Amino acid sequence: MEDTYKHKGLRKKLVEEIRKKGIGDERVLSAIEKIPRHFFMDSSFESFAYQDKPFPIGSGQTISQPYTVAYQTELLEVEPKDKVLEIGTGSGYQACVLIEMGARVYTIERYRTLYNKTKKILNKMGYAPKMFYGDGAKGLPSYAPFDKILVTAAASEVPEELLKQLKPGGIMVVPVGTGDTQIMNKIFKNEDGTYNEKSCGYFRFVPLLSNKA
């Protein structure tokens, strides 16, 4: 795996493209500029790595579109040292963006093959989120509570169990819907345990599935 000047140049362009599409958080943009996205894809597809598009990564799953990664990350308002739970490790790219922003990342993937493959790639790159194989909708009760929770697959409704694992004052970002597109929900947990929700546009995710594979 090599990160050449050409790759770095393509990444700069990608960042400018995402900036034009409305992402203003410089910390998110610099994380994207730093991380070699082509390392997360098979080498024969390298040329696709710096297009602002999702891409298949095996097991019928995808690495999210860079804009979507940036948008979700921005909504999450990540602060250094935040304890963040990600549902849907997939390629691991989103987890690395969170790590670059200083978060302590816990991430869950339900496909054993993807979990294994991604673990190897991240190790090689020197990223070390706490990785779990299992059903993300159940969260990680023994590691809760979390400052932030990010769901990167489409939930049919806001997962109740995850809300419980969010700290008062915390934020959860979750795409909700059963159709072709989902509404991005940003949920604040108030100090008194009540919630405020905000809809933040339409996106397209693979579904959050409940059984392990």
In one letter, which amino acid is 191?
Answer: E
**β-pair type (146-151, 130-133):** unpaired
Q: State yes or no: residue 61 binds ligand SAH (CB under 6 A).
A: yes
CA 103 – CA 87 distance, rounded (Å): 15
Q: Closer to ligand SAH by CB, 108 or 174: give it.
A: 108
Among 37, 110, 148, 189, binds ligand SAH (CB under 6 A): 110
**β-pair type (130-133, 104-109):** parallel
> Among this protein's residues, is 64 annotated catalytic?
yes
Query: Which token pair is 118?
Result: 């991604």
Q: Residue 203: how many CB atoms within 10 A of its CB?
A: 18
Report the chain's terminal Cα–Cα distance, integer Å: 29
Tell me, residue by residue from 154 to 193, as one string, x for binding to ligand SAH by CB under 6 A and - for no binding.
----------------------------------------
Q: State yes or no: residue 206 binds ligand SAH (CB under 6 A).
A: yes
Min. distance of Cβ 191 from ligand SAH in angstroms?
29
Binding site for ligand SAH (CB under 6 A): 61-64, 87-88, 90-91, 93-94, 108-111, 114, 135-137, 152-153, 206, 208-210
* Active-site amino acid positions: 64
